């Protein structure tokens, strides 16, 4: 996947994953997972950028992320947007839990990115609903 990702793709994906993992305060497992993702994607600079973006004003970080993403997402094809959201959903599951607030945040972003229906279908299929 890394080869098909531009700088903007990597930046967007690392910001998405970071903002969700920071939602309740970043724990050691989440930090490790972010670093592993950055390593796999050769996106250490993009992760650093995302971390600084969030840290610049932690209180407004989610809304600022939504605003930033509303400008970037139209330049990224729908399949890739869905993949970013789905990979973040799966990463949350891998850490062993996903909170209601994280789910709500992911669904808001999926709606913003016009992939909410598709994400819901994927999740329902995984949960065999």
The whole-number pLDDT of residue 129 equals 57
Q: How does pLDDT run across 55-108, given as a tens digit for each residue?
A: 999 999 999 999 999 999 999 999 999 999 999 999 988 888 888 899 999 999
3-state secondary structure of 27: coil
The whole-number pLDDT of residue 123 equals 87
Can you tell me the distance from the alpha carbon of 97 to that of 118, in angstroms, rounded to the nearest whole number? 22
The whole-number pLDDT of residue 19 equals 96
Structural domain count of the chain: 1
Contacts (Cβ under 8 Å, ≥6 apart) of 76: 8, 9, 12, 84
Contacts (Cβ under 8 Å, ≥6 apart) of 20: 88, 92, 102, 105, 106
Residue 72: domain span: 2-126
**Cα-trace Rg, the chain:** 14
- The DSSP call for residue 5 is -
Q: How does pLDDT run across 88-101, given as a tens digit for each residue?
A: 999 988 888 888 89
Return the closest-CA partner of residue 65 out of 31, 123, 113.
Answer: 113
């Amino acid at each position: 996947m890394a080869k098909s990702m531009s700088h903007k793709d990597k930046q967007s994906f690392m910001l998405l994953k970071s903002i969700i993992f920071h939602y309740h305060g970043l724990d050691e497992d989440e930090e490790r997972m972010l670093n592993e993702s950055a390593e796999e994607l050769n996106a250490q600079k993009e992760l650093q950028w995302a971390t600084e973006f969030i840290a610049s004003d932690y209180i407004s970080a989610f809304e600022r992320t939504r605003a930033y993403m509303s400008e970037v997402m139209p330049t990224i094809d729908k399949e890739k947007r869905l993949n970013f959201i789905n990979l973040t959903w799966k990463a949350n599951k891998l850490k062993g839990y996903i909170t209601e607030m994280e789910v709500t945040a992911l669904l808001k972003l999926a709606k913003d990115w016009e992939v909410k229906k598709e994400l819901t279908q994927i999740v329902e299929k995984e949960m065999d609903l």
